Amino acid sequence: MQHNNSISFYLSGRFALFSDPITRVGGEKFSYPVPTYQALKGIFESVYWKPTFIWYPDAIRVMNPIETQSKGIRPIRYNDGTNDLSIYTYLVDVCYQVRGHFEWNLNRPDLAADRNENKHYFIAKRMLERGGRRDIFLGIRECQGYVEPCEFGEGKGAYDDSPALPLGLMLHGITYADEDGSGMMSERLWRPVMERGIIQFIRPEECPIIRPIHKQKEKSFVIKKNIQPCEELYREVKTDELD
């Protein structure tokens, strides 16, 4: 489904590591074959974010073949500060088309005065053209990513002719107290299917497995104190555009 305030972009990088939590137990990391919903949500937020709204990734299209590469890493151990040897398995030469939209965070009525869809949408598109407001990371900080605007569905993808491919049980994402008003942080799991290179994401509340992690307090945001009104940011962006 196409939304009026949706944006789409190419997401690419040399390496990516969207780690499966199960593989972290032994100190090693193994990437999922595709980005998780939560990882993409974080990338949308790196392009442009405010607590006034929530980004919802709608779909991802895998453009390059899914390939992996393992590397020996020497991370610092938490208990004694010494180095240890671990094997991290990365995705290599990744490229995706991503589409998503934002919706107001109705659990933050204190930010209702900041709900100006046209201005937030314009700012998001402008930030996307600049490569994002913050650095883009593909799963972990050491994997630098890059974004640029695109038309979702354009060009030739590596899996355009592939039938439905179930990807098994995967992490969908994390629900924070700020987003659902429950006062609880929860994790969500689902079973995605890639069809002709495209994964259509379900909404967080539609996930078949939702498990509470721990209680959590909502963050405090006050307009003009620790959050910039969208009107001010809109004027700044328009001024930069004219310059």
| Residue 226, phi-psi category: left (phi > 0), alpha (psi -120 to 50), beta (remainder) | alpha
> Is 80 exceeded by the pLDDT of residue 32?
yes
pLDDT for residue 26: 67
Element (DSSP H or E) covering residue 214 = strand 209-215
Strands 29-30 and 86-104: parallel
> Is 80 exceeded by the pLDDT of residue 218?
no
- pLDDT confidence bin for 111, thresholds 50/70/90: confident
Average pLDDT over residues 188-214: 95
**Residues 168-199: tens digit of each pLDDT:** 999 999 988 877 777 888 999 999 999 999 99
Judge if pTM exceeds 0.85: yes
Average pLDDT of the residues of the chain: 88
User: Which stretch, 61-70, 207-216, 218-227, has highest mean pLDDT?
Assistant: 61-70
**Residues 99-109: tens digit of each pLDDT:** 999 999 998 88
How many Å apart are CA 203 and CA 101, to the nearest integer? 12
- pLDDT confidence bin for 93, thresholds 50/70/90: very high
Give the HSE-up count for residue 181: Cα atoms under 13 Å, Cβ half-sphere. 6
In this structure, how many other beta carbons lie within 10 angstroms of the beta carbon of residue 133? 17
Q: What is the DSSP string of 149-211?
A: E--TT-S--TTTT---EE--SEEEEEE-HHHHSSSEEEEEEE--EEBTTEEEPPPGGG-SEEE
Q: Which amino acid is at 35?
A: P
Q: Which amino acid is at 44?
A: F
If you classify domain 7-163+219-242 with CATH, what class do you get?
alpha beta
In this structure, how many other beta carbons lie within 10 angstroms of the beta carbon of residue 198? 18
| Residue 79, phi-psi category: left (phi > 0), alpha (psi -120 to 50), beta (remainder) | alpha
What's the start-to-end Cα distance of the chain, in Å? 36
